[in-house]
Amino acid sequence: MTGVVRRWRQYRAARECRAAVVSHTFPPALTAGEIHGVRVELRNSGMSSWTAREGGAAQLHVSLDGALAAAIPLPRAPVAPGERVTFHFAFAAPDRAGSYRLRATLALPAIPHVTPLPELESTIDVAAAPDTAANRAFATMVRHNLWHYLPTSGIRRGRRGHPYPQFIARAKGAHVWDPEGNAFVDYTMGWGATILGHADVRIQRAIALALDTAPLGPFPDPIEMDVTRMLLEDFGGEMVLFGKNGSDVCTIAARLARLATGRRQILSCGFHGWQDFSLGHLGFAATGIPESAEGVFHKFRFNDAASFSALFERHRHDLAAVMIEPAGPHGDDETGLEGEPDPAFLRHIARAARDAGALLIYDEIVTGYRYPGGSVQKAIGEEPDLTCLGKALASGMPLAALIGRTRRFHELMARTRYCPTFKAEVYSFAAAKAAIPIYRAEPVAAHIAAAGAHMKQQIDGMCEDVGLAASCRGPAFRFQLAFHEGDAYRRRLKRTLYFQRLLEEGLMTVSGVMLPSYAHSDAIVDRSLEGIGRAIETIAKAERAGALEQAVDIPLI
């Protein structure tokens, strides 16, 4: 290729690949170490579409003093000439105070240069951060410990000044407070574990009384046997095994099923934790779990007999177990939560598993003591071979359990090599021993069901009133607002804006998923619905005005 031809091609590429900045929200001044939510809207002012072609993804590059500070991929593709696209991202200020030269460029695959954005070339002043406990904790988090719930990507405040919490300094009842004293009504509730409310006085008292002894002894404390008897009374079965997380007992359930049957395949519906047996089907690149030549873990759809039967017929001769969250399982990131169980469907999969000589495993990590009547299996009269429990078991303290028949445990447990250090920790058993009688004597599950059903009905009515195509998905004990939007990108915009507005209204959720508790009184629910109504109105107005992009302050969830 001659120099003339090369220069001509570069000139043509530069002419075809141009971008104009429509708007941006880079602040003129920053605080050292703080993370800001930034929106950059670009218009394709060139002659060719922007897309992620072979050779890499299109990216917006932001640099400070020549050092790359952020590389944000194109949020949707293709972007045709004349069309606009908006980048939402978290932008971290430098750790040190001073003046910095900001520059942004658009890098497109197969183009031998970057497209400069002159409107995004400026000097930004960075001021020193106040030396406060909250700022020190935040700096440590950003540099050394990001592995927790960070739905706003570390952005601590919206453009209108609303706080987005990163830490919780105190929790009581249905409320939590960040270190600055901002209060939120909490609908995460320990990821569904704290169904009596945060720091329930009866649970706290039981833990306090247990503090006279060490948490771990060489042999179990008798209190573990008290909790064992309680669980057998409430769930049936003959033997109990304890762990600390739902992932622990789901993993052992899968191992026991494979050892009991001598088979490999497991058919699954729902989420069964983070350990290898339940995530390997997602592939090595997504999980770091080595892939087997033939998959041994397969997903079927909830309440869908055809989906189950297709997998069952394919794997029945090597089937170890059918494992299911029997109510409101999480489908996937797009479908979200499923709803109430169809008893006929649950009985169908139970018969199929037993006809094939496989074990039926109910993952009642979420539904145990939370579902009306105490569990799904009691509600429909179907006892599984193994039951996995957790979450509410100790009302916020770390405890999980596996329940089953004696023969399986005696024959097979030694071969599972199950030996977690903290499974016999006393303080959690003290909490469970105090919590279970409360679940039995008081209308805990009934209150949660009533509160959730009322919220769902009211939220659906609000969406209808303002003309927003959305409705609640999931059962009353765990639900979310789902947007009936065909375009996946616009659906993410609405979901993010809803979550953002809930935070601004002082409502803490799991990215929009809500888990009411016994501590959510009628008055708290009514105040929450007022805030939710304002959030829904914001989305409806932004959609009518074509301003969803402009309303979002945080990276899309």
What would the pLDDT profile of 201-234 be if each residue is shown by its tens digit?
999 999 999 999 999 999 999 999 999 999 999 9
Phi/psi zone of residue 13: left (φ > 0), alpha (ψ -120 to 50 degrees), beta?
alpha
The answer to the question of residue 328 being in a domain is yes
CA distance 397 to 530: 32
- The pLDDT of residue 11: 47
Sign of CA dihedral 145, 93, 163, 507: negative
CA distance 270 to 287: 18
Q: List b or e across 471-492, with b for residues whose CB sees 16 or more CB atoms inside 10 angstroms.
A: ebbbbbbbbbbbbebeeeeebb
pTM of the complete model:
0.91
Question: Same domain for 348 and 484?
Answer: no
Question: Same domain for 467 and 527?
Answer: yes
Question: Same domain for 404 and 454?
Answer: no
Contacts of 105 by beta carbon, 8 Å cutoff, 6+ apart: 60, 61, 63, 114, 115, 116, 117
**Of 441, 470, 502, which residue constitutes the final position of a domain?**
441
Q: Indicate which CATH number applies to the domain containing 219.
A: 3.40.640.10
Is residue 376 within 8 Å of 389, Cβ to Cβ?
Answer: no
Question: Same domain for 358 and 489?
Answer: no
- The pLDDT of residue 379: 94
The answer to the question of residue 557 being in a domain is no
Count the alpha carbons within 13 Å of 2 in the hemisphere toward its beta carbon. 3
Is residue 425 within 8 Å of 387, Cβ to Cβ?
Answer: no
**Of 127, 159, 181, which residue constitutes the final position of a domain?**
127
The answer to the question of residue 452 being in a domain is yes
- The pLDDT of residue 55: 46
Question: Same domain for 319 and 349?
Answer: yes
Domain ranges, residue 96: 3-127
CA distance 280 to 58: 30
SS3 404: strand
Question: Same domain for 116 and 149?
Answer: no
- The token duo for 332 is 């996937």
Contacts of 381 by beta carbon, 8 Å cutoff, 6+ apart: none
SS3 84: strand
The answer to the question of residue 105 being in a domain is yes
- The token duo for 314 is 């394919």
Give backbone dihedrals phi and psi of 384, rounded to 5 degrees, phi first.
Answer: -80, 170
- The pLDDT of residue 171: 97
The answer to the question of residue 556 being in a domain is no
- The pLDDT of residue 54: 45
Angle 522-544/444-466 helices, nearest 10 degrees? 30
Question: Same domain for 176 and 249?
Answer: no
- The token duo for 267 is 């058919």
Question: Same domain for 119 and 26?
Answer: yes
SS3 124: strand
Q: Indicate which CATH number applies to the domain containing 72.
A: 2.60.40.10
The answer to the question of residue 417 being in a domain is yes
Is residue 60 within 8 Å of 87, Cβ to Cβ?
Answer: yes
- The pLDDT of residue 3: 55
pLDDT-flagged residues of the chain (< 50): 1, 4-5, 7-9, 11, 54-55
Question: Same domain for 210 and 190?
Answer: no
SS3 346: helix
Question: Same domain for 228 and 296?
Answer: yes
The model's pLDDT over 329-353, given as tens digits with 9 standing for 90+, comes to: 987 767 789 999 999 999 999 999 9
- For residue 370, give the nearest of 147, 201, 190 by alpha carbon: 190
Q: Indicate which CATH number applies to the domain containing 477.
A: 3.90.1150.10
Is residue 400 within 8 Å of 249, Cβ to Cβ?
Answer: yes
Give backbone dihedrals phi and psi of 206, rounded to 5 degrees, phi first.
Answer: -65, -40
- List Cα–Cα distances, 275 to 247, 402, 424, 443, in angstroms: 6, 16, 21, 34
The answer to the question of residue 217 being in a domain is yes
Question: Same domain for 152 and 258?
Answer: no
CA distance 152 to 131: 23
Task: Please state whether beta strands 98-107 and 122-127 pair in parallel, antiparallel, or not at all (unpaired).
Answer: antiparallel
Residue type, 408: R
- The count of domains in the chain is 3
Beta carbons within 10 angstroms of residue 54's beta carbon: 6
Helix (H) or strand (E) holding 23: strand 19-24
- The token duo for 131 is 């030396």
**Of 94, 127, 160, which residue constitutes the final position of a domain?**
127
- Give all strands (DSSP E) within 395-469, no chain letters: 400-404
The answer to the question of residue 370 being in a domain is yes
CA distance 372 to 449: 7
Question: Same domain for 394 and 463?
Answer: no
Count the alpha carbons within 13 Å of 207 in the hemisphere toward its beta carbon. 17
CA distance 374 to 343: 16
- The pLDDT of residue 50: 85
Give backbone dihedrals phi and psi of 458, rounded to 5 degrees, phi first.
Answer: -65, -40
